[in-house]
Every structure is written in C-alpha cells, then in structure tokens.
Amino acid sequence: MTLGWPNLSNPADAVFFFIVGVSVAFLFANTAVMIYFVVRYSRKRNPNPEDVKDNVALEVLWTVIPTILVLIIFFVGWKGFQYMRTVPPDAMPVKVLAQEWSWTFTYENGKQDSVLRVPVRKPIKLLITSADVLHSLFIPAYRIKEDCVPGMETHLWFLPDQLGSYDLFCTEYCGVGHSAMITKVEVMPEKDFEAWYKGGDAEMAKPGTKTTKKKAADPDGASLVQVKGCLACHSLDGSSKIGPSFKGIFGKKETVIRDGKERELVVDEAFIKQTLLHPELDRVKGFPPIMPSQQGQLTDPELDAIIHYLKSLK
Ligand code: CUA
C-alpha cells in the first residue's frame, strides 16, 4: 500500500503528529512523576500519612495547561478541517458512484472508468454518491475519507502532487463483497491524461440518459463489464469469486433456485438479461443471492453489448 508516509505538508499529518507528540510527552512525564512518588512516599520512607490540604497553585496549573492544550488541538484540527472542506476553484470535478461492489468515475465529458485517473498537480474534486447502500470512499495516500450516501451528494478534494498509483477503497462494511470494493488512483503526467481523456475508446453513454450519442450507440462489452464493476464479483479466467466466472458462461448448465425450488437450465441470452435486470428471480446455486439489479444502470444497447461480450467468452 502506498501511503506517501510521512507527509508533513499535509494538515492531517501535522495534526496527527502534534497529538501523538503531546500524548508521548505526557506519557513520559506522568510515568516519571508516578515512579518518583512510589519511591519518595513509600511506607518505608513515609510511615505516617499526611493530610494534604488544597494546593491552589497546582490546581490552577492542571486546569490551565490541559485547557490550553485542548484549545490548540481544536485549533489545528479546525485549520485542517477548513483545508479539507475548501475546494480550490480550479479543481477538476469527477463524479463518483459507489455501488455494491465497485466504483464508477464519470468525467465532465461523459468519460467513465473504474479507475480514478487524474493529471498530476491538478486539484481534483470528487462528487460522491451511492447507488444502493452506505459506502465510504477512502484514499489513504491523500488522507481523505467521505461517506457515499444514496440520494445525497457528498464531496472531497485532493491534490495529487506526485505521479504514482495509490489505493482507493471502501472503508464502510457494505455487504459480502466489501473487501473487493477496491480500485486505484492513477496519477498520470498531464499529456498522458489528456490523451486518455480525449481518446474515444471507452466512451459510453451516461447511465440514465436517454440521449444516444454516436459513440454510445455501439458500446463495448469488454470495457462495460469493467467500468460497471461486474469484474469485482465475476472473473474472466474461470476462477471463482463472489459470483460465477464469466468464462464459458454462455451455454453452460447451471442449477438455479426460484422460490426455494431447484431446477437446471442452460445459460442463454434470455437468462443473462433476466439476471442483469431481475437477479432475484433465479439465483444460481452455490453463490450468495447478492447480485444487484442493473435496472436503470444500463441502457438497452449496453445490455446487448454485455450479452454479446459474455457470449464471446469461451
Ligand atoms: Cu462499499 Cu464497503
């Protein structure tokens, strides 16, 4: 995991080290005083206990010092919070859709990807929401974390100051595929990013929009299963993940369960389409019943492209 550790220019790190520093100083100071008292006031040296009356000076000291300390901690914390919530006006907006169990990033020109690609040294503003349950977006390298809430848009920003590949994952338990809800932030040289951003290969219609652009009319199934997060649960190489592998799925015999009754069927176009739109009808035996419905998430041409692609996976 790339943490970029320690990163003292980051306000979160400065606050963290300040609090750890204060805690360590008090740990040593308290321990030293405790040891001194144990020795100095042991029964051997001090057989007759003394009744200690108030000590105003001491009481003032142990009230004032902690008060000042917590105020300083509040102040540095507040500064860090302000920094986190103040998005630079020139930040590049990227929409983030969290869903069980994948991430979809949508750029201003409609381009989508399952990896967050950003140009180096350009502030990025993430506009975050969820398609189903609560998730939480966490990029440890940039010390940022924000809840993904269905029906609500939250935001975050960060400055990718160094090239590299950084982890991005869900940090709120969201069901059986939670641990698979992991992707990368790819910080690219500006030129490479521009080339990717303007390149047409992976361009697709935005989900939910009825307007069909020229390029959107012919979506590519291979990139769809990646962008739409199918690969978080379904492998392409035959290995078992949370759901059945896509390899050789077309024409395969599967046992499905409907209303508690088992029956065998052959996977065909109709079954794939039904599973994409109404996965709750027939569940494939041996896998948890967790496939989310893609109703409203995929356009008809996208559905066809995915079915066509799955047919090609021998
Ligand atoms: Cu999404 Cu955990």
Q: For 29-43, write each residue's pLDDT tens digit.
A: 999 999 999 998 888
pLDDT bracket for residue 115 (50, 70, 90): very high
Residue 214 clears pLDDT 50, i.e. is over it: no
d(CA 35, CA 242): 56
The per-residue pLDDT for 29 is: 95
pLDDT bracket for residue 9 (50, 70, 90): low
| Neighbour tally for 94: CB within 10 Å | 19
d(CA 109, CA 111): 6
Ligand 1 neighbour 249 (Cβ under 6 A) = no
Ligand 1 neighbour 174 (Cβ under 6 A) = yes
Who contacts 5 (Cβ-Cβ below 8 Å, separation ≥6)? none
Closest CA to 138 of 108, 167, 177, 175: 167
Distance 101 CA to ligand 1 centre (A): 6
Strands (E) located in the chain: 92-99, 102-106, 112-113, 116-119, 124-130, 135-139, 144-148, 154-158, 164-170, 182-188, 253-258, 261-266, 283-284
**Which of the listed ranges 126-130, 218-222, 228-232, 280-284 does the model predict with the highest average pLDDT?**
126-130
Ligand 1 neighbour 181 (Cβ under 6 A) = yes
pLDDT bracket for residue 297 (50, 70, 90): confident
Distance 114 CA to ligand 1 centre (A): 15
